[in-house]
A and B are shown apart, each in its own frame.
Chain A
């Protein structure tokens, strides 16, 4: 269905090619997963499929990409619209119209499909993706998962034979990701569509893949017709695969179900294993206090009578669905918005009254889009500005950043950094003032496993220094790795406030993969299993 023949892609002005010598054939009807660290060229590979690379992005493509018997060198993306459906990372940015039904019809309008055929296909697609109840809704009012399904539907109506999805679930909460993946599964199984997708959250998709393309540093692509083989060597792997590698299971399990079947022996062996002791509850006075707070927009209350306390050395995870009020809680603590009722105190101050260096030394907040905090021309300039803002000695920010990313040059433009590096820079900028409380909103949405591990280490060091961290996140693996406490919000209320270990084992929704495999043994991460495992077990 798709043939990459010796494809090399070099962007204009780049010294080294982004992809080199890609020689892969994708047969019809497969779900192909593209795996690689951030910035390794996953998006570039996906964009070659419908010719966006090089027709739209510029650069040079050597070799040949043939899709559904059409050469992308001769057909620009618009002429391939009836053969390849391409959905970009942020579907909202690709919407042309403003209601669900019009958006579904847009591609067909461009392809001059006859009106009666259009009408029929829109109805089919509404059913296929479960969008019927949304047909008249404005696109702006949709949730993330609904948006992603509309974006998929809007290219499906043209009846393409290949669907290309760039990180379809990375920005979604677990429930929304389920919706989207179920829809994709149905397309592969019922319509025989060929799907090529990339995804950071491998734990969500790897068990569905028929084939894995692994991107190597330097732009080589290795083709693994068996995903388990790819996972055995991949530097990026979900926790369940890491556990399988540690225990030496063959074939390597990709799903919880497979792993549980292998794990019976391991569970027996570790039946008496005790989890690492929980840190004693901190006796220190709370550094951030939210007391009976009601907050929201105009007449809508997002939070109702919520009380949360954060002690020094705490790493608190704030969890809950999209729209449950996680971001509102963080912006209350940062003083970005005032409560309608109740009080918020951070280190004894009302945070809305803080500004300038006083604010920076009390609260640091990295918003969902870390790039919002960066507006200088170069990394070095950004760091110097942060030193001045925080009143820190010159070089503080640069040292913080350079320790984590020694490979990034001072002259680099912040806009050219990868997602993970940009987050690191924003963190360094915020940590220049050594704030009492550090707030992070969905920090892991664009991060691969290595970047996530680095973030976890940094947060642990903050806690060791006696500072507090609050993270709004959906990522149960991150919570299991670093968090000491878990607060769950639902419908404006706190429905759970407990230490993260008992939270994680209390409900499958919060359980990380290792906990699901090892239950009832109370171990949450691969590292914990490694620590209690006797040394002679092959690893």
Chain B
């Protein structure tokens, strides 16, 4: 690829990441899940943007480990059903009759533990894919993708995301100030006393930002009547809910016994997408905003998006294939099926085909400590 360095369209990265996440959601095979995490890690290492967000992948990786630990821990507490080879015998606690469905303690089996481990791993890898997307795209650039009808809501989300890191530096400053006044900086009481000033600081900041946005033309009324604007927004929101329900159906479709997997799925997904598109098109007709240097969608964008969607398509097509299921009961060494593994490897392509990140955005390191 001789593509000059530039930032890839944020939508391409998100499609790629969501494709990988979809594939992860469809399997509990630990080898495939680890492969997905590794592929995401490789691409992040090659193409992440500089700045605080580039650490998202590691942050989400750690968070994923916590998720696995919690899931396995829960198995110890509530999982004592006793099917399979017993690993530990815990004392069983009798529960009142109105909690009939739950057991506390009892025999913990290898089968149950492995099953919990694989499920935790699946959730962790989905999180890692989202973290990868955050490392590859500055979240505020996502605002460019928000449909015009939802622009206001998009701004709110992006603003709260940029305020969160500021809140952390605020709390750090308040901790240092507490020490200066000779108070302890640890313990719940200290945190309680710091919370109020921290939040009032964040509030002041939000008000200042709102004033600035108001003076800079944010939220100008277009020439469209309010009724039409509300209709557009309703269309887009309903459409997006449809898309989410449809995706939920597709993701859980392979899991036997999940509720309503016949109702959700493709039909709802398509109907939702159509609604959302109609709303966006209608809203787009009122020209109250323009976009400065919109991101182009060229060949690299196509390659990145498709390379992420291929594993998703393969995993969905395979359905409830036993090779995609982690061998928990009875315990065994997981297989490495060839086709899904190759599909996941395709998603590593962006490490090569995506254009490099321009180096002048790396000027962050010149930051002057205030």
The complex places the Cα of A299 from the Cα of B138 at a distance, in Å, of: 26
| A75-100 interface with B by 8 A CB criterion | 76-82, 84-86, 88, 90, 93-99
A429: interface (CB < 8 Å): yes
CB within 8 Å for A52 and B215 given contacts A108-B290, A112-B290, A369-B173: yes
Residue of B nearest to A111 (CB): B217
Q: How far is the CA of A390 from the CA of B182 in the complex (A)?
A: 8
Which chain B residues border A82 with CB–CB below 8 Å?
Answer: 217
Complex alpha-carbon distance, A102 and B366, angstroms: 20
Asked whether any CB of chain B lies closer than 8 Å to the CB of A113, the reply is yes
CA distance A334 to B370 in the complex (A): 18
A105 within 8 A of partner (CB): yes
| Segment with Cβ contacts to A, from B193-201, B253-261, B311-319, B332-340 | B193-201
Q: Which of A77, A97, A355, A367 contacts B214 (CB 8 A)?
A: A77
Task: Assess whether A302 is interfacial by the CB under 8 Å rule.
Answer: yes
Of A52, A97, A372, the residue contacting B174 (CB under 8 A) is A372
The yes or no answer to A107 lying at the interface (CB within 8 A) is: yes
Task: Give the contacting residue for A114; candidates B182, B211, B212, B290; CB below 8 A.
Answer: B290
CA distance A143 to B369 in the complex (A): 9
Which residues on A sit within 8 Å (CB–CB) of B364? 138, 140-141
Q: Which of A388-413 contact B (CB under 8 A)?
A: 389-390
CB–CB A136/B213 < 8 A: no
- Contact between chains at B174 and A110 (CB < 8 Å): no
Bound together, the chains give a CA A328 to CA B368 distance in angstroms of: 13
In the complex, the answer to whether B179 meets A359 with C-beta atoms within 8 Å is: yes
- Residues in A neighbouring B211, C-beta threshold 8 A: 52, 56, 77, 88, 94
Kindly supply a per-residue 1/0 record for chain A positions 364-401, scoring 1 wherever the CB is within 8 Å of any chain B CB and 0 otherwise: 11010101110100000000001001100000000000
Contacts of A358 in B (CB 8 A): 182
Residue among B182, B209, B218, B360 making CB contact with A356, cutoff 8 Å: B182
**Interfacial chain B residues near A76, Cβ < 8 Å:** 214
Cβ contact within 8 Å between A81 and B182: no
Q: B363–A373 contact, CB under 8 A?
A: no
A86 to B210, CA, bound (A): 13
Whether A389 contacts B181 by the Cβ 8 Å rule is yes
A86 and B217 contacting across the interface, CB-CB below 8 Å: no
Query: Is B173 within 8 A of A96, CB to CB?
Result: no
In the complex, B205 has a CB within 8 A of chain A: yes
Chain A residues whose C-beta falls within 8 Å of the C-beta of B290 in the assembled complex: 108-109, 112-115, 118
Q: How many interface residues does A have (CB within 8 Å)?
A: 79
Cβ of B189 within 8 Å of any chain A Cβ, yes or no, is no
- The answer to the question of A461 belonging to the interface, with a C-beta cut-off of 8 Å to chain B, is no
Please indicate the chain B residues that have their CB under 8 angstroms from the CB of A97 in the complex. Answer: 140
A112 and B287 within 8 A (CB): yes
Given A77-B215, A302-B369, A93-B200 contact (CB < 8 Å): no
Query: B159's closest neighbor in chain A, by CB?
Result: A96
CB distance from A142 to the nearest CB of B (A): 8
Interchain Cβ contacts under 8 Å between A and B, 8 examples: A56-B210, A81-B217, A101-B292, A109-B291, A118-B290, A137-B363, A331-B176, A355-B179
Q: Which of B171-194 contact A (CB under 8 A)?
A: 173-174, 176-177, 179-184, 193-194
The 8 closest A-B pairs by CB, nearest first: A94-B212, A110-B217, A105-B292, A81-B217, A93-B208, A372-B177, A141-B367, A86-B215
- Tell me whether B292 and A78 are in contact (CB under 8 A): no
- Distance in angstroms from A204 CB to nearest chain B CB is 21
Binary flags per residue of B106-139, CB closer than 8 Å to A gives 1, else 0: 0000000000000000000000000000000010
Interface residues of A in 120-170 (CB under 8 A from B): 122, 136-138, 140-141, 143-144, 154-155, 158
Rounded to whole angstroms, the CA-CA distance of A323 and B291 in the bound complex is: 36
Residues of chain B from 327 to 370 with CB closer than 8 A to chain A in the complex: 358, 360-361, 363-364, 366-370
B220 close to A (CB within 8 Å): yes
Q: Verify if A119 is at the interface (C-beta below 8 Å from B).
A: yes
Given contacts A81-B216, A98-B138, contact A365 B180 (CB under 8 A): yes
B215 contacts A50, CB within 8 Å?
Answer: yes
If A90-B208, A93-B208, A110-B220 touch, whether A322 touches B214 (CB-CB below 8 Å) is no
| Residue A415 interfacial (CB < 8 Å) | yes
Q: Does B284 contact A (CB under 8 A)?
A: no
Instruction: Say how far A39's CB is from chain B's closest CB, in angstroms.
Output: 17
| Contact residues in A for B230 (Cβ distance below 8 Å) | none
Query: Interface 1/0s, chain A 404-439, versus B by CB < 8 A?
Result: 000000000001000000000000011001000000
Chain B residue nearest to A57 in the complex (CB): B211
A232 smallest CB distance to B (angstroms): 35
- With a cutoff of 8 Å between Cβ atoms, the chain B residues found around residue A360 in the complex are 181-182
Interface residues of A (CB under 8 A from B): 50, 52, 55-56, 76-82, 84-86, 88, 90, 93-99, 101-102, 105-115, 118-119, 122, 136-138, 140-141, 143-144, 154-155, 158, 297, 302, 322-323, 327-328, 331, 334, 336, 355-360, 364-365, 367, 369, 371-373, 375, 386, 389-390, 415, 429-430, 433
Q: Complex Cα distance A359/B181, Å? A: 8
The answer to whether B220 touches A359, judged by C-beta atoms less than 8 angstroms apart, is: no
Q: What's the Cα separation between A137 and B302 when bound, in Å?
A: 28
Nearest-CB distance from B198 to chain A (Å)?
10
B367 touches A140 (CB 8 A): yes
Query: Known: A52-B211, A136-B361, A357-B182. Is A79-B220 also a contact (CB below 8 A)?
Result: yes
Whether B182 pairs with A141 at a CB distance below 8 angstroms is no
How many angstroms between the C-alpha atoms of A430 and B179 in the bound complex?
12
**Looking across the interface, which residue of chain A has its beta carbon closest to that of B180?**
A365
The smallest C-beta distance from A264 to any residue of chain B, in angstroms, reads: 42
Q: Contact at B219–A367, with CB atoms within 8 Å?
A: no
* A107 contacts B217, C-beta separation under 8 Å: yes
Which chain B residue shows the least CB distance to A110? B217
Q: Is B224 an interface residue (CB 8 A)?
A: no
CA distance A141 to B360 in the complex (A): 12
Do A78 and B212 have beta carbons less than 8 Å apart?
no
A86 to B364, CA, bound (A): 28
Q: Say whether B298 faces chain A, with CB atoms less than 8 Å apart.
A: no
Return A332 CB to nearest CB of chain B, in Å. Answer: 13
Question: B363 contacts which of A105, A115, A122, A141 (Cβ < 8 Å)?
Answer: A141
Measured between alpha carbons, how far is A155 from B162 in the docked complex, in Å? 21
Which residue of B51, B182, B208, B292 contacts A115 across the interface (Cβ within 8 Å)? B292
Determine if B197 and A375 form an interchain contact, defined as CB atoms under 8 angstroms apart: yes
Inter-chain contact A359/B182, CB cutoff 8 Å: yes
A141 and B369 alpha carbons, distance in the complex (Å): 9
Residue of A nearest to B216 (CB): A107
Is B62 on the interface with A (CB-CB < 8 A)? Answer: no
Contact A98 B140 (CB under 8 A): yes
Known: A365-B180, A373-B180. A78 touches B369 (CB 8 A): no
- Structural contact, B138 and A52, CB atoms closer than 8 A: no
Cβ-neighbour of A389 out of B182, B196, B208 (below 8 A): B182
B227 within 8 A of A: no
Complex formed: what's the CA distance from A55 to B196 in Å?
Answer: 28
Task: Point out the residues of chain A lying under 8 angstroms from B196, CB to CB.
Answer: 375
When distances are taken between beta carbons in the complex, the residues of chain A under 8 Å from B205 are 93
> Within 8 Å of chain A (Cβ to Cβ): is B58?
no
Bound Cα distance from A110 to B216, whole angstroms: 7
Closest to B287 in A: A112
Q: How far apart sit A338 and B193, CA to CA, in the bound complex (Å)?
A: 26
Q: Which residues of B contact A373 (CB under 8 A)?
A: 177, 180-181
Contact B209 A94 (CB under 8 A): yes
Of all chain A residues, the one with the shortest Cβ separation from B288 is: A112
